[in-house]
Structure 1
């Protein structure tokens, strides 16, 4: 038998490639990584707390949606109250005897402008609230964040509406509940769920 016979069990072993950077040798900075076998898989992360993906809106999220609708309807009522005050403004000023004096009429017009501003603000709040309510079923995490911000501003509008038959107090309480419910983990999981 000769050393050239590949079937000879006692023959010369096959030549190994020269040893160099690779397994068992430290890598040089900037040297390309040599890997053996399959590339490394990306790290496995469990979204939604261990693989839980909500298929129905959680009850706490549904409650936040309903309370958000209550805030929007309250702003519709506030806008209606300001609209009524605006419609009766000239008649009220005439009954108070504020006609004829230019300085007093200027202040009356300034007051009328403030009422118009609050009417527009209440109408915008009502529209924004209704848009957010309609986005709860299919919206993403931005809807949740906007709900929290909307409820925060609604607390401020509730302070300005305290004189309207306790409607402002109702808005403040409901707004705090919306913030708490929208910030809870089930709500966050609902708005971060994958949509196919």
Structure 2
């Protein structure tokens, strides 16, 4: 079964108490990449598809008061199995265009130092795909999650869910890299919440 978790970094003043009380939040801590004195990183519990609407509502309610909110990230953890490998997720990210990545709140196409997309480099805090965890694959490509990016959260999780199911349905060594890239690009535009209006908005940002 697909499960997901988020690390929600906030680099600025915000309503600490309300977020800490939210039942989806499992913990919080400081983070060296957050320079604002009130900045914190929150970790969600292990979440299921039935939790996504509540998670989206939480993210939409987050307002950050700070001069550099973009320093924060929003890493996503998906459940790891024998068929969920870092290299498969690398090719899934590689298959997305710059526009698709931005639509899903991803940063690996922008040259961001915290999420460089490199083949066979899947360990650490400066890589887009971190395979160092025993139980999850960490996708570090995502930008901050707050009121400014909340509309991209559900499409991002739907894309991850689709790719997770795609990988689960194929044994290791059954997939070609080109096939993974095509499936990733196709699914980025096929998620139910990714509407034509959203795609038009992304084109206007170019």
Please state which band the TM-score falls in when normalised by the shorter chain. Answer: under 0.3
Greater strand fraction, Structure 1 or Structure 2: 2
Normalized against structure 1, the TM-score is what?
A: 0.24
Larger gyration radius, structure 1 or structure 2:
1
More helix by share: 1
The one of the two structures with greater contact order (alpha-carbon pairs below 8 A, sep at least 6) is 1
